[in-house]
Amino acid sequence: MKRSTRLGSAAAIAAAVAIAVAGCSAGEPAGTEDDPITLTFWGSYGNGGNSAQQEVLNETLIPSFEASHPGIQVEYVDVPYDDLLQKLTTSAAGDALPDLVRADLGWVPRFADLGVLVPLSQAMDDFQEFADATYPGVLATNLYDGEYYGLPLDTNTRVLITNQAALDAAGMDAPPATFEEFEAMAGALEGTGITAFADGGLGAWNIMPWIWSGGGDIASEDLSTSTGVLNSDENIATIQMLVDLYQAGQISTGITGNSGATSTSEGLPGGQYASILDGPWMNGIWESDFPDFAPIYSPVPAGPGGSVSVVGGEDIVLTASSKHQEAALEFIRFTQSEEFQLALVPTGQLTVIQELGPKQVELVPYYSVFTDQLETAKNRLAITGGAEVDGILNTELTPAFEGTVSVEEALTRAAEQIDAVLAKG
């Protein structure tokens, strides 16, 4: 039944694309300067009171696009990040989606599965050209069931951020570059009252950098099974390292879901935590709240698998219900331009175009670690049940950290449940 639904929706999408593409040559209102068409674009650029990104978009980028594309107007609607998923879900149910959406990359498979997105790899002749220019890990977030449903818009990744005072206390002159150095730092910090590492949970966003760097993975490449992959010896060793540190009091209880633990964004600059893994946006937060704090950015500590982090960010997607498909595709092409990508860099957005990396670092020097980390950063499972996987990882790994079950047992139980999620698609 599930399969047939999927096939059904795939057929529906194909039909929608065919109609849309055929329609634009036949009768899609092309829009003229006197009678322009309007594209609606939803996003959460203004999240957390970030007015800089919205300003650049509304006052520089959109006017520039409209000037070069007479007859098309773009109306950007800002939706708070926390409301966006729900708004998109209800709009999808009510068939009231906008033309374009800046979607969190974890949402793309979900909405692709609902059949409300246009597969760009079918709808754009020049898709491959754009795809090749982006980071592979970032591009992969758009892949669902063999088709690409969007193009990367902006990206981010997690790197190790360390507090200099903690490094001094541990007698280290550089942040830990390997698992061994990381463990050594934790050992050296014992008795200083500084916790070596802190994180806010055990979901894929939190735990995957460790797993990948440890040489493991969460599921087989064809997404058919997690058993045998998640509970591999490599993963048992990696998680055991974290569990040992946790039980020695060297990792904060926030990682096992203690919502009363001091947050990472406060504890690191406050000197309680020596290191955290986090993204490029933290700089802006600290600049206003902790002006004296100088964060040290370095790659995720390397294990047997190297230094591999997790990809975050947003993709731009086109809805199947859009009446102006060709115009919307034009805007998508515009988002991949150097003009668009670099304009948003100073506002806290990392470019998705590999080639623009050096230029981005020129604009914002502290992005260099993030830019390098992105070269190898990987995507989480491209499935509809990403949130369920996070729930499973949290529920099963927490007892392992608390020491009530063995790491192997926890990973095996998690793998079994993830198998079931994978089977659903």
Q: Is 425 in the site for other proteins (CB under 8 A)?
A: no
Selection from 70, 83, 5, 14 nearest residue 42 by Cα: 83
How open is the CA angle 207-212-218, to the nearest 5 degrees? 70
Our CB check for other proteins shows the closer of 58 and 398 to be 398
CA atoms of 26 and 187, how far apart (whole Å): 70
Q: Is 23 in the site for other proteins (CB under 8 A)?
A: no
Among 71, 136, 305, 399, binds other proteins (CB under 8 A): 399
Minimum CB distance to other proteins, residue 399 (Å): 7
Residues 372-391: x where in contact with other proteins by CB under 8 A, - otherwise, as a string:
------------xx-xx--x
Our CB check for other proteins shows the closer of 154 and 199 to be 199
Our CB check for other proteins shows the closer of 388 and 408 to be 388
Q: Is 3 in the site for other proteins (CB under 8 A)?
A: no
Instruction: Report CA 257 to chain centroid distance, whole Å.
Output: 21
Minimum CB distance to other proteins, residue 106 (Å): 11
CA atoms of 242 and 250, how far apart (whole Å): 9
Among 62, 103, 208, 261, binds other proteins (CB under 8 A): 261
Q: Is 9 in the site for other proteins (CB under 8 A)?
A: yes
Site for other proteins in 116-155 (CB under 8 A): 116
Secondary structure (3-state) at 365? helix
Among 142, 231, 256, 360, binds other proteins (CB under 8 A): 256
Our CB check for other proteins shows the closer of 157 and 252 to be 252
Among 19, 24, 52, 114, binds other proteins (CB under 8 A): 114
* Strand locations in 147-239 (E): 147-148, 150-157, 159-162, 195-198
Q: How far is CA 399 from CA 202, 258, 263, 386, 395, in A?
A: 11, 13, 21, 21, 8
Our CB check for other proteins shows the closer of 236 and 414 to be 414
Minimum CB distance to other proteins, residue 194 (Å): 15
Q: Is 18 in the site for other proteins (CB under 8 A)?
A: no
Interface size with other proteins, residues (CB under 8 A): 33
Minimum CB distance to other proteins, residue 246 (Å): 12
Residues 63-82: x where in contact with other proteins by CB under 8 A, - otherwise, as a string:
--------------------
Minimum CB distance to other proteins, residue 392 (Å): 10
Q: Is 406 in the site for other proteins (CB under 8 A)?
A: no
Whether the Cβ atoms of residue 133 and residue 248 lie closer than 8 Å to each other:
no
**Antiparallel, parallel or unpaired: β 72-78 and 37-43:** parallel
In DSSP notation, 265-326 reads: HHHTTTTSEEEEEE-TTHHHHHHHH-TT---EEEPPPBBTTBS--BEEEEEEEEBTT-S-HH
How open is the CA angle 67-100-367, to the nearest 5 degrees? 80
With 0-12 / 13-18 / 19 or more C-beta atoms within 10 angstroms meaning exposed / middle / buried, residue 1 is exposed
The binding site for other proteins (CB under 8 A) comprises 1-2, 5, 8-9, 12, 86, 89, 92-93, 95, 110, 114-116, 253, 256-262, 384-385, 387-388, 391, 394-396, 398-399
